[in-house]
Amino acid sequence: MRLFCLAILSLCLPASPILAAEYRSGGKLLLTDGISTVEGAGGGGIASWATIAGQETDAGIGGAAHATLVALPAFTLTALGASIGLRDRVELSYGRQRFDTRAAGAALGLGRGFTFGQDIVGAKLRLVGDAVYDQDRWLPQISVGIQYKRANQDTVVRAVGAAQSRGTDLYVAATKLLLAEGLVLNGTLRWTKANQLGLLGFGGDGRRGRSVQFEGSAAKLLSSRLVVGAEFRSKPDNLRFAREDHAFDLFAAWAIARHLTVTAAYADLGSIATVRRQRGPFLSLRTAF
């Protein structure tokens, strides 16, 4: 992870103070950098995109921060995160998740209000393409990323069958913006063994190794400030004690101002820790520069 970050930083950091003075923030079209995922990276709410967080162009430094709430019938997920974009080439991100089991914790033998949490440190590198400015080319923007995740309940996640309480996801994402049609399309392949995004550890007594999962997004720009769409994310099913379902959502993102976006969605996360039909509102507030 450290070597990956150092390598991609070397592609973006200026070689002298004179070059550093040329850096500037801003310049992207509204909403074209996406929002922030529940893991802290730039993209959709549950799907990572190839876009780089922040409103910087290839001559700037930008960033974003978000607060997200997913209110399910039996559980509550809150996520906080921040990311920085360098020259629209490299993204570094951090996310913190808290998963409150509320009354379901007692039924699961954990105690009412028992919480799981995890820290996520990520990096993303844009390889080729530009989702906005390559309108005359078929090539999408393509990025590769890495996320190191550490769950905070080692004893409990191992007790339910997880092999580890920490793990690393690798992914490649392709994002294409069709300005004339007002469409945003994204597809991501993720190599992971995370259980419930990593909150319940990594690998398990059903399957220990990584598998390739898919994340997809499709969105329609209704105006320069409003976009609506849908997302899908497949997840591995590694634990014997509880089936893990795929997730999807229907969302609307509104740019209230240049630096502030609010996203509302209906999210369906399926069965979580034996509790079925976990569907509910998703609300995220994001600021970017």
Q: What letter represents residue 186's amino acid?
A: N
pLDDT tier at 1 (50, 70, 90 boundaries)? Answer: low
- pLDDT confidence of residue 3: 47
- pLDDT confidence of residue 25: 53
Q: Where are the domains of the chain?
A: 2-288
Length, in residues, of the chain: 289
- Find out whether 85 and 52 touch, Cβ atoms under 8 Å: yes
Spatial distance between the Cα atoms of 276 and 268, rounded to a whole number of angstroms:
10
- pLDDT confidence of residue 83: 96
pLDDT tier at 155 (50, 70, 90 boundaries)? Answer: very high
Average pLDDT (241-263) is: 94
Minimal CA–CA distance to 103: which of 92, 111, 95? 111
* pTM, entire model: 0.87
pLDDT at 60 over 80: yes
Q: Mean pLDDT for the chain?
A: 89
Element of type H or E holding 65: strand 61-71
- Find out whether 45 and 66 touch, Cβ atoms under 8 Å: no
Provide the total of helices (H) and of strands (E) in the chain, helices listed first. Answer: 4, 14
> Where do runs of H (alpha helix) occur along 11-110?
17-20, 104-107
Radius of gyration of the chain (CA): 19
- What is the percent of the chain where pLDDT is above 70? 91
Min mean pLDDT across 67-76, 105-114, 141-150 is at 105-114
Pick among 2.40.160.40, 3.40.50.300, 1.10.1060.10, 2.40.30.10: CATH of 2-288: 2.40.160.40
Spatial distance between the Cα atoms of 96 and 3, rounded to a whole number of angstroms:
23
Instruction: Give the tokens for residue 230.
Output: 């849908």
Q: Write the pLDDT tens digit of every residue in 9-49.
A: 444 444 333 223 344 456 787 888 889 999 999 999 999 99
